[in-house]
Structure formats: C-alpha cells, structure tokens
C-alpha cells in the first residue's frame, strides 16, 4: 500500500484535488505520501489502477493554473499594444 500511495499521491497532486477528496497526505519530514487512516486497501487499489493508467497516458497533463493563464494573457496584451500604432497629434491644428 505504501508504493500505491506514492503513485496515487503524485496523481492527486497533479490533479490538484482538495484535501477532503484525497486518499493520501504528504509528510514533508519523510518526503513521502501516506495513505489516510480512513482509506481501505481496496479503495487504494482501485484509485491506484486509475492513477497509474492516467499518469502513463500520453498527453495527460494538469490543466494550466489561472496564474499561468493570466501571465500569458498579459504577454499577449503587451504584444498587441506594441504592434498598435500610437496616436499622433496633428501639428497644424492648435490644441484647444
């Protein structure tokens, strides 16, 4: 179950599951994932099969974070604004 917890924990991290949805906890002192107390070996085995399949599937990746999407949007806006010509004043007409 320990080996399964490592795979399931990595999959849960990648998916960004909330604490109440997870079957594992991260122990930073030991740097390992540990199965939660309420999780039975059958539940862990079922999620392990799904997680192992999902992690090995080509093209599987976690959706991009909002932070990354905002950063890309800001870069695109900067490019669009740089390409736009700046307004020029007509020097023949006086300002009002």
Is 93 a member of any domain?
A: no
The residues, ordered by sequence, that sit 6+ positions from 4 with a Cβ below 8 Å of its Cβ are 35, 44, 45, 48
Give the model confidence (pLDDT) of 18-37 as tens digits: 999 999 999 988 889 999 99
CA 48 to chain centre: 20
Give the model confidence (pLDDT) of 34-43 as tens digits: 999 999 999 9
d(CA 45, CA 4): 7
Is the pLDDT higher at 83 or at 96?
83
Contact (Cβ atoms closer than 8 angstroms) between residue 49 and residue 24: no
pLDDT at 91 over 60: yes
Q: Which domain holds residue 19?
A: 2-56
- At 49 the pLDDT is 92
d(CA 44, CA 38): 10
Is 50 a member of any domain?
A: yes
Is 26 a member of any domain?
A: yes
Is 92 a member of any domain?
A: no
CA 29 to chain centre: 24
Is 61 a member of any domain?
A: no
- As for how many domains the chain has, the answer is 1
Contact (Cβ atoms closer than 8 angstroms) between residue 40 and residue 1: no
Is 15 a member of any domain?
A: yes
- At 62 the pLDDT is 56
pTM over the 0.75 mark = no
Is 67 a member of any domain?
A: no
């Amino acid at each position: 179950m320990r080996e399964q917890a490592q795979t399931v924990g990595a999959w849960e991290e990648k998916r960004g599951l909330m604490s109440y949805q997870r079957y594992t906890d991260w122990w930073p002192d030991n740097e390992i994932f540990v199965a939660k107390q309420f999780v039975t070996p059958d539940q862990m085995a079922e999620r392990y099969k799904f997680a192992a399949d999902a992690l090995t599937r080509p093209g599987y990746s976690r959706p991009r974070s909002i932070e990354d999407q905002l950063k890309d949007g800001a870069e695109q806006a900067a490019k669009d604004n740089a390409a736009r010509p700046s307004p020029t004043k007509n020097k023949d007409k006086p300002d009002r």
